[in-house]
A and B are shown apart, each in its own frame.
Chain A
């Protein structure tokens, strides 16, 4: 018990003193997951609009598959990216395995289904009458899609934030494709994992507190958005 207490006070010391290692790791986490979230948004918002606004055979099945992939295990995504990008893999020539780039790709793959599914369901929340109104006011197909995306902006943004939350809190993929290399690919979750297994709790607890704090901020923002 005293050990936990001791680690906790040390962790708070690390946080208050803005320990360079803590700041570095937290900053890298935010950078990698932020980039992944941005890239995933750039893919999912247009793609989601496209899927939503078109009727095609197998649409329902596609949406079901997307929703199933919401809960794909992170290590599985890590495995996939590892197999693809490892030196001997089909995309090994890029030489990005064990770099932040590989981690970004892994997180993009991880949150794309979630973001896509939430975007489609957000767009479905915009009534057909809104679409008809835009069309009869002379909007082209593209202009209508853009308006619908704007109408659903709060719900879409909520999806993006959830995606960011999933990206920054995952361990499996970051560990597999990043390798938890100090000063290069070590992020908050992998650092917690390693330090805990080494029995050095203070850094782990400090990073844990930051992660919880991030989760709190995400929740507050989400609540605000959902009230609009």
Chain B
């Protein structure tokens, strides 16, 4: 039985429907990442799970019990959870009072509060900050106060909404470390919304892709990154190469996909005649100046159309009868002198190709 069960949840603001019939179960102790672009409904879902909002339709079950739409029970259940908002909102009080307020609201004893607050301030690396006004802190420090304020309550469920969205890389790393420490130490159930896929992959066991108010796919990171089930998920997880084709032959788990005359070999069990998308991650494509002997089954002669630099990487758009995007390190791009107009050989393995049935749209 899941600790949190979301059933047929729909919610809208005015005319705009934000969540559209969403179902999700989160197990006890599970760390679940909710990934999706801005505006997909991640925050709304978290707000409804935290009982800050009453859903337009559908039910939330907590620990097996259906949560009523109003009444005192909502406060009791809310007190078993804690929500870290995207923009940390610290109260115009001292750091100590900020962290202590949740315990005070629960009627904890004064000396017990002091003990727990001091301990948690140490955990988040803010010892000695107790008397500072929380409004005078930097963004990263404020986020740590917000985290401490939630963690000190030792919630059964921690909801995190883009916990590192506004932070610099160093602060981000600190917060991520803390989150994974808490998950391991306290076995806290967590739902974390993020648009940063690698963060979800790093911290969560399972993730769900929320697109336009619907959970398009749930599964572990590898499933979602390597085997997206729909075109939209494929786009979101960075599958830049999605080419349409028809399976011309299927034999013992290997298929031939006909892409307007060119043939890509892939690992799949789809039958011949099926219309599919063949997806290849740009980093799985290697480029060479001549045909090399390798186990890779797909090799195409291609012409470089455009080269752009992305930090330490070079992104190349190539034309091999169909359009592909490849990512290589900037260094190798320079070594091979890859530039627009040059002819290269693009190679990728049959296992690097993900075949997706055409026409599945959610």
Check B296 for interface membership: any CB of A closer than 8 A: no
Contact partner of A140 among B47, B91, B105, B159, CB < 8 A? B105
Residue of A129, A136, A139 with most partner-chain B CB within 10 A:
A136
Is A137 within 8 A of B149, CB to CB?
yes
Main secondary structure of the interface of B (DSSP, over half): mixed
Q: Chain B's nearest CB lies how many Å from the CB of A69?
A: 30
Is A137 within 8 A of B101, CB to CB?
yes
Interface string of A92-135 (1 = CB under 8 A from B): 00000000000000000000000000000000000101101111
Number of chain B interface residues as a range = 20 to 34
**Residues in A whose Cβ lies below 8 Å from that of B159:** 136
Q: Chain A's nearest CB lies how many Å from the CB of B11?
A: 16
Q: How far is the CA of A127 from the CA of B106 in the complex (A)?
A: 23
Main secondary structure of the interface of A (DSSP, over half): helix
Check A138 for interface membership: any CB of B closer than 8 A: yes
**Residues in B whose Cβ lies below 8 Å from that of A140:** 75, 105
Is B105 within 8 A of A132, CB to CB?
no
Is B78 within 8 A of A136, CB to CB?
yes
Q: How far is the CA of A127 from the CA of B91 in the complex (A)?
A: 11
Is B153 within 8 A of A137, CB to CB?
yes
- Can you name the residue of chain A whose Cβ is closest to the Cβ of B101? A137
Q: Chain A's nearest CB lies how many Å from the CB of B215?
A: 23
Check A12 for interface membership: any CB of B closer than 8 A: no
Number of chain A interface residues as a range = 10 to 19
Partner-contacting stretch, out of B79-87, B198-206, B300-308: B79-87
Is A129 within 8 A of B87, CB to CB?
yes
- Can you name the residue of chain A whose Cβ is closest to the Cβ of B80? A138
**Residues in B whose Cβ lies below 8 Å from that of A133:** 85, 89, 91, 146
Contact partner of A127 among B89, B102, B150, CB < 8 A? B89
**Residues in A whose Cβ lies below 8 Å from that of B187:** none
**Residues in B whose Cβ lies below 8 Å from that of A151:** 91-92
Is B82 within 8 A of A137, CB to CB?
yes
Chain B residues in the interface with A (C-beta under 8 A) = 47, 50, 52, 75, 78-79, 81-83, 85, 87, 89, 91-93, 101-102, 105-106, 146, 149-150, 153, 159
